[in-house]
Amino acid sequence: MADGRGEPQGAGGPAEARRVVAGPGRGEVEVRRSRFLAELAPAATPGEARAFWLEVRRRLPEARHHVVAWRVEEEGRLVEHASDDGEPGGTAGRPVLTALRRHGLERAVLVVSRHFGGVLLGAPGLVRAYRQAAEEAIARAPLALLVPREAYALEAPYALWDRLVALAQRAGAALESPLYEEAVRATLLLPAEGGEAFLRQLRELGPPSPVLRPLGRTWRPGPAGSPQATSSG
């Protein structure tokens, strides 16, 4: 088995957005009686990706090879992995990983299972077949665009809550998972633009002003109208 792990990269890639797999995609290629069945799925961590690979192996025991590649997160960084699973080194896992890279996909695992047809394809033939099967699966998968949002833990008195909600709606901010206790607690996501101005307005709502605690950057689906692709194009 040949394995390759790319250098760890920043988990967000480009700061503006991240392209992720939102659901399963499948593709199939037949070359000289060998069938290549590709399955693409969301995976956030190496553990999730490995579990999906093992599940495909269990489901398709008759396949001779279960080639896998993934691009997922580990300790806040993007990591890559590819396995040829018994095929000649560099002819299988690397082309599948290259397809994920070409489309800029993260949080993704792609398994290509080969049912051997009795005819050797040679290294160039294997590379083409695995790459084509991977591309077929990507083309049929729903993809999504995630954008960075600055998050805060917010606590506000009930007397301010309605005004706070209206201000957030006008600014394009989001209030997630409100809890109605002695005060209202929620996760606040700043708007994509004008975050500092919104925070100033928020602090001027009191007295008493809402209490804010920074949580750092998180990733959420892009707003309506953003280029969330349903296929790779």
pLDDT at 75: 81
Give the list of residues 6+ apart from residue 68 with CB closer than 8 angstroms, or none.
49, 53, 81, 82, 83, 85, 93, 96, 109, 110, 111, 112
Q: What is the architecture of the domain spanning 148-221?
A: 2-Layer Sandwich (3.30)
> What phi and psi, each to the nearest 5 degrees, are found at residue 200?
-65, -45
Q: What is the pLDDT of residue 223?
A: 54
CA–CA separation, 107 and 21 (whole Å): 6
DSSP state letter for 209: P
- How far apart CA 73 and CA 41 sit, in angstroms, is 14
3-141 and 148-221 share one fold: no
pLDDT in tens, the chain (233 residues): 334 434 334 333 334 678 898 889 999 999 888 899 999 999 999 999 999 999 999 999 999 999 999 999 888 789 999 999 999 999 999 999 999 999 999 999 999 999 988 778 889 999 999 999 999 999 999 988 888 889 999 999 999 999 999 999 999 999 999 999 999 999 999 987 888 999 999 988 878 889 999 998 888 877 543 444 444 44
3-141: CATH class: alpha beta
C-alpha dihedral, 218 to 144 to 76 to 189, nearest 10°:
0
pLDDT at 153: 96
Domain ranges of the chain: 3-141, 148-221
